[in-house]
Amino acid sequence: MSAIRMDGKALSAKVRGQILAETEALKAQGVVPGLAVILVGDDPASQIYVRNKERACSECGFYSEKHVLPATASEQDLLDLIERLNANPKISGILCQLPLPEQIREDAVIAAIDPKKDVDAFHPVNVGKIMVGDFDFLPCTPAGVMELLDEYQIDPAGKRCVVVGRSNIVGKPMAMLLLHRHGTVTICHSRTHDLAGLCAQADILVAAVGKAGFITPEMVKPDAVVIDVGMNRNEEGKVCGDVDPAVLDKAAYMTPVPGGVGPMTITMLMRNTIKAARLQNNL
């Protein structure tokens, strides 16, 4: 039997519709949510992500600005831009598309964004708030995964959850959100012994590795929930996930790539932006 496909595209459309309605209500109170997206350089994948974020802003009725700096921009150029955006009342949220060129320190840039405008939730203040469970913003990709689990009425409480990947952007916050929802969480990474054996025990398996087809059917417990965060390109240049499509025949639920976690990530960015607009206007 084939797994139920967890449709992130459909859920995104539903949530974006709700956000648009909330935006209209805020506009009636004189507040327009605004997102500034910064792109440094001309990485083709980053250009696609930025375009998708601009499109989502317009779907949600937001004001948006795109700032493109050349690949040769200095760290100070970027910090100056962030300072201006921090002070601009039209801007509720600031997103700096990663990765950055090597002359710019990612952590310096993240730390420069006003935590109240940090809609990616990467600033150490927001990371700390997530750790203690008292947060304004949730990191977009893990938040999107939690929305998908909720939509399909999958409750992590008491379940064995395995997250493969420990990045600050996906793996670590994903594990934390599952823990907040009372999952029993294991984080695996490149030094993990018997990774396949640990994955095979998971009721909920989240793959955030960045390697096409990394999770094979032998690594999946029958009837598991499999969340594929990966966004890779295969030999033909097609977008594919970290999970081998053959897992569909073993899992009970699975997110497709594309059309699973990806659209939810951008939708959660929109949710954080409207939340930022509210917080900044005490609404």
Nearer to ligand NDP, 204 or 261 (CB): 261
Q: Is 265 in the site for ligand NDP (CB under 6 A)?
A: yes
In the complex, the smallest distance separating the C-beta of residue 219 from ligand NDP, rounded to whole angstroms, is: 11
Answer yes or no: 53 catalytic: yes
Out of 191, 194, 235, 236, the residue judged to bind ligand NDP by CB under 6 A: 191
Radius of gyration of the chain (CA): 19
72: left (phi over 0), alpha (psi -120 to 50) or beta: alpha
Q: Is 186 in the site for ligand NDP (CB under 6 A)?
A: no
Out of 34, 139, 156, 165, the residue judged to bind ligand NDP by CB under 6 A: 165
Structure tokens at 98: 């990663």
Q: Is 142 in the site for ligand NDP (CB under 6 A)?
A: no
Nearer to ligand NDP, 139 or 156 (CB): 139
Out of 38, 40, 170, 177, the residue judged to bind ligand NDP by CB under 6 A: 170
Out of 29, 153, 190, 282, the residue judged to bind ligand NDP by CB under 6 A: 190
Query: Which residues between 34 and 63 bind ligand NDP (CB under 6 A)?
Result: none
Nearer to ligand NDP, 70 or 197 (CB): 197
Answer yes or no: 80 catalytic: no
Q: Binding pattern to ligand NDP, positions 208-237, x when CB under 6 A?
A: xxxx-----------------xxxx-----
Q: Tell me which of 7, 97, 136, 275 is the catalytic residue.
A: 97
Site of tokens 């939690």: 146
Nearer to ligand NDP, 8 or 61 (CB): 8
- Distance (Å, rounded) from C-alpha 203 to C-alpha 214? 18
Contact yes or no for 209/165 (Cβ under 8 A): yes
Site of tokens 């006003």: 114
In the complex, the smallest distance separating the C-beta of residue 152 from ligand NDP, rounded to whole angstroms, is: 17
Q: Tell me which of 120, 136, 203, 244 is the catalytic residue.
A: 120
Answer yes or no: 97 catalytic: yes
Nearer to ligand NDP, 217 or 258 (CB): 258
Out of 139, 156, 171, 173, the residue judged to bind ligand NDP by CB under 6 A: 171
Q: Identify whether 258 is preceded by a cis peptide bond (ω within 30 of 0).
A: yes
In the complex, the smallest distance separating the C-beta of residue 89 from ligand NDP, rounded to whole angstroms, is: 29
Structure tokens at 112: 């420069």
Catalytic residues: 53, 97, 120
Binding site for ligand NDP (CB under 6 A): 141, 164-167, 169-171, 188-192, 195, 208-211, 229-232, 261-262, 265
